[in-house]
Structure 1
Amino acid sequence: MSRTVTLLLVDQAGEQLGALPAYDVPEPWWQEIGSVVAEARRRHGLDVAVLRLLAADRPEPPGGHLTYLGQVAERPAVPLDPVSVDLSPHPLRGPWAEPGGPAGSIAWATDELDRLGRPVTAVAQQRTWNLSAIWRLDGGHGSTWLKQVPVFLRHEGAVLRWLADAAPGATPTVLADDGAGRVLLDHVPGEDRYAAGVEERTAVAADHHAVQLRAADAVPALVTAGVPDRRGPALARWIRAALAPHDVSTVDGLLAGLDDRLDEVRRCGLPDTLVHGDLHPGNVRGDGERRVTIDWGDAFVGHPAFDILRLTETLAPATAAPMLAAWAGRWRAEVPGCDPERAVALLRPVAPLRLAAVYAMFLAAIEPSEHPYHAGDVPACLARAAAEG
């Protein structure tokens, strides 16, 4: 599956110039725009900064015909198709999605790298969507990654700073952080481990357990630093508030009993700690020698079982059982008398319910043109929660 792309171009002042002829790119995932930029350069000799998605011909990813907004430094020589689109400002638009936004972020990053003695010789845009913008910055030092996230995910910087001290090597090295959503990360060799098997996932779970043990003693500091507090009653309140605009009739019973269920979870005796929030294998990067966990924007303070449930959710029950048993054994050794198995059983339907609330939060915090990224996720997660409940 591929994508067909139309790039509507604007100049540095945001004035519409017209659209490039449509072309295909190999990756179907809408937020991946490295090949969109590369193909505009190959076909037309243009250096384009892709700002944001404008329209899609299907309700959700992947594939289809997508229209993106791109910025160029000056009117290109290539003929452009006349197009007129409403580009009015929107209060929920990311700063990187406005004309001049990418240039401002790259200027910040190159200044920081110059200060560190790591001058930049090449910049390549990799991703842009409602949850992040990512660029690769290369130089004699190697590669550095600039990541920019919206305000509702900016606590990722605080999480990474804490992890750098508490669990060195567990995450990418933070080179700079502006405190407002932009971070510079040192390159991590290897690849994202989407295809990780059970043995590798088991190792990831063991690595993560060590991090969560350290974090259990740092919960107040993490909350003070801005990491969302999703402990017990706070989690229940947040889920209900996030899902209030949506049809939750399929999970009415689960929501009604949520406080009592979470109170039962508390009685299982496991400590609250730092939760990654999206610990699937694709958020682990490795090269066979080193593994690091990436993308901590969904992190929160809460129950550790959420991460093992996410790490095992795509596995058959018989395959996941040994991983869950090993996880439970580690916690039982650290907290004698706790009941990890019961905590997992109680939280199994809550895990997709929480994910539904996460996607609902995204939808409430992004402009409507980008809703197709997540609109189908809320009902899908609610259906899973109902099935598990």
Structure 2
Amino acid sequence: MTLVLVGASGTPLGALPPVEVDLPWWPEVAEVVAAVRSRWGLDVQVLRLLSTDRPVPHGGHVTYLAQVFEPPGFTLAPADADLSPQPLRAPYANPGGPAASVAWAREALGRDDVTAVQQRTWNLSMIWRLDAAGAPVAWLKQVPPMFAHEPAVLALAGGFAPGLVPAVLAAAAPGRMLLAHVPGEDRHDAGEEFCAAVAEDFHPLQAHFAGRVDDLLAAGVPDRQSEADRFARVADPFLDTIDGLGELTDDLPRRLAALEECGLPATLVHGDLHPGNVRDDGDTRVIVDWGDSIVAHPGYDILRLAEGLPEPHGLLAAWAARWRAAVPGSDPERAVTLLRPVAELHAAVIYADFLDRIEPAERPYHAADVPARLSAAVTAAVRWQCD
């Protein structure tokens, strides 16, 4: 990766020589910051992506814009980077943005012994870990306007199920929240047993809010109960290039009507419920990262949780049994089969929304996802046919 540096006032300074880091995921910048400090003795705050040599958000050569508050004591290479303002740029992607948010978090925490360590930055969030006496005490998260409802969702969910979600210590515009530290590890690649436990933890929350959708909407949670028009808009540019997509969209009215007949209610949907968004310390599980939360069909979450599992049948059967008990007369098994291609279409819409709301330099994070999810929708419709 290469860092183009700007000074405290945002003045361009030049570029550092390229350096390799091991972690290939572009939003994860903790290793980037550590590498720059180790190699050149500079403390930097990564602001945003400037360019990359590939269309997928991992690996390759990446150029970031970063801020320093003391000029380097050596000559930087000339840098040709577009630093012009962009109307869709997140506040934390501008010079001074991260520093202002870290200062807010320190004040909200009420401690002057806190060290802030940057972890992630991209068009969907900026995340810093706040340490004191060598241990994490809180996390600063800042999100763009499309995720501004996250603190309200955490408050609602935490009010019903304390401990299932991170505690919000403070929240303020623009998109800032200070979250209590959650011990444990994110459980990426966890197996079916762990996913089944998460699904069991999560069900009472969804059942609770199935009767309180108005509370969610009043808190600003996006309403995705009816997406047929959005599906058509996102699919339209790809109808000639993705075989079977036209047939799927033509059949959507029938499929959605059949899904409605299955009788499962709209409720709070996490939106990205995979094991990596669950922190586990061996005793408790805490579901994090609620920015994608919506009001929609509960099947979206169980399908996301089942992704990548070689044999998710037990997970899905237990989910269906819980919903049959909660909603007598419903047909959860048929619902989840009908929903499989719809869930892929929903994912394509979400990625298209991201692309509509981010600046051009950040588009490589998501551009390949829209056609990939549309193709996956066609595959799911063929594999999981439901008359």
Q: Same fold (TM over 0.5)?
A: yes
Change beyond 3 A, Cα 1:87–1:204: same
How far is 1:61 from its partner? 2.5
Q: State how far apart, in whole Å, the 2-side matches of 1:161 and 1:119 are.
A: 27
Residue 23 in structure 1 maps to residue 15 in structure 2: no
Q: SS where residue 349 of structure 1 aligns?
A: helix
Alignment of 1:268-287 (within 5 A): 268-287=262-281
The corresponding residue for 1:378 is: 370
How far is 1:126 from its partner? 0.5
Give yes or no for contact 2:184–2:279 (8 Å, CA) kept in 1: yes
Residue 122 in structure 1 maps to residue 115 in structure 2: yes
Q: State how far apart, in whole Å, the 2-side matches of 1:313 and 1:137 are.
A: 32
Report the residue type matching 1:151 in the other structure.
P
Report the residue type matching 2:371 in the other structure.
P
Describe the superposition over 1:227-253 as per-residue Cα deviations: whole angstroms up to 9, x where unpaired.
01111xx22233334555x42443222
How many residues of Structure 1 are paired with residues of Structure 2 in the alignment?
377
Give yes or no for contact 1:243–1:360 (8 Å, CA) kept in 2: no
Change beyond 3 A, Cα 1:120–1:269: farther
Q: SS where residue 264 of structure 2 aligns?
A: coil
The corresponding residue for 1:109 is: 105
Q: State how far apart, in whole Å, the 2-side matches of 1:271 and 1:381 are.
A: 25
2:227 to 235, 238, 241: 235
Give yes or no for contact 1:270–1:335 (8 Å, CA) kept in 2: yes
Give yes or no for contact 1:16–1:84 (8 Å, CA) kept in 2: no
Q: State how far apart, in whole Å, the 1-side matches of 2:52 and 2:136 are.
A: 36
Q: State how far apart, in whole Å, the 1-side matches of 2:331 and 2:173 are.
A: 39
Q: State how far apart, in whole Å, the 2-side matches of 1:345 and 1:156 are.
A: 29
The corresponding residue for 1:49 is: 45
Residue 336 in structure 1 maps to residue 328 in structure 2: yes
Describe the superposition over 1:10-35 as per-residue Cα deviations: whole angstroms up to 9, x where unpaired.
01221110111111111000011001
Q: State how far apart, in whole Å, the 2-side matches of 1:357 and 1:297 are.
A: 15
1:203 to 197, 207, 211: 197
Give yes or no for contact 1:279–1:307 (8 Å, CA) kept in 2: yes
The corresponding residue for 1:247 is: 238
Alignment of 1:157-168 (within 5 A): 157-168=151-162
Report the residue type matching 1:331 in the other structure.
W
Alignment of 1:174-213 (within 5 A): 174-213=168-207
Q: SS where residue 99 of structure 1 aligns?
A: coil
Q: State how far apart, in whole Å, the 2-side matches of 1:378 and 1:384 are.
A: 10
Report the residue type matching 1:255 in the other structure.
T
Describe the superposition over 1:177-213 as per-residue Cα deviations: whole angstroms up to 9, x where unpaired.
1153111111111111112111111111111111101
Q: SS where residue 37 of structure 1 aligns?
A: helix
How far is 1:53 from its partner? 0.6
Residue 66 in structure 1 maps to residue 52 in structure 2: no
Report the residue type matching 2:197 in the other structure.
A
Q: SS where residue 189 of structure 1 aligns?
A: coil
Give yes or no for contact 1:19–1:81 (8 Å, CA) kept in 2: yes
The corresponding residue for 2:316 is: 324
Q: SS where residue 58 of structure 2 aligns?
A: coil
Report the residue type matching 1:16 in the other structure.
P
| Structure 1 runs of 4+ with >6 Å offset | none
Residue 347 in structure 1 maps to residue 339 in structure 2: yes
How far is 1:142 from its partner? 4.2
Give yes or no for contact 1:242–1:361 (8 Å, CA) kept in 2: no
Give yes or no for contact 1:229–1:235 (8 Å, CA) kept in 2: no
Q: State how far apart, in whole Å, the 2-side matches of 1:205 and 1:193 are.
A: 14
Q: State how far apart, in whole Å, the 2-side matches of 1:324 and 1:110 are.
A: 43
Describe the superposition over 1:132-174 as per-residue Cα deviations: whole angstroms up to 9, x where unpaired.
1000111258421000111111111111111121111111111
Q: State how far apart, in whole Å, the 2-side matches of 1:331 and 1:164 are.
A: 22
Q: State how far apart, in whole Å, the 1-side matches of 2:315 and 2:25 are.
A: 30
How far is 1:294 from its partner? 0.8
Residue 12 in structure 1 maps to residue 8 in structure 2: yes
Q: SS where residue 81 of structure 1 aligns?
A: coil
Report the residue type matching 1:181 in the other structure.
G
Q: Percent identity?
A: 55
Greater mean alpha carbon deviation, residues 252-261 or residues 32-41: 252-261
Q: Which runs of 5+ in 1 are unaligned?
A: none
The corresponding residue for 1:304 is: 298
Q: State how far apart, in whole Å, the 1-side matches of 2:373 and 2:359 are.
A: 21
How far is 1:214 from its partner? 1.3
How far is 1:223 from its partner? 0.6
Alignment of 1:32-43 (within 5 A): 32-43=28-39
RMSD: 1.4
Give yes or no for contact 1:44–1:78 (8 Å, CA) kept in 2: no
Give yes or no for contact 2:47–2:65 (8 Å, CA) kept in 1: yes
Q: State how far apart, in whole Å, the 1-side matches of 2:307 and 2:17 are.
A: 42
Q: State how far apart, in whole Å, the 2-side matches of 1:119 and 1:289 are.
A: 31
How far is 1:282 from its partner? 0.8
Q: State how far apart, in whole Å, the 1-side matches of 2:327 and 2:227 are.
A: 23
Change beyond 3 A, Cα 1:248–1:152: farther
Q: State how far apart, in whole Å, the 1-side matches of 2:71 and 2:173 are.
A: 35
How far is 1:255 from its partner? 2.2
The corresponding residue for 2:384 is: none
The corresponding residue for 2:131 is: 138
In the superposition, the TM-score normalised over structure 2's length comes to 0.94
Change beyond 3 A, Cα 1:21–1:290: same
How far is 1:267 from its partner? 1.3
Give yes or no for contact 2:186–2:277 (8 Å, CA) kept in 1: yes
Give yes or no for contact 2:235–2:374 (8 Å, CA) kept in 1: no
1:75 to 60, 71, 74: 71
Q: State how far apart, in whole Å, the 1-side matches of 2:166 and 2:177 are.
A: 11
Report the residue type matching 1:157 in the other structure.
P
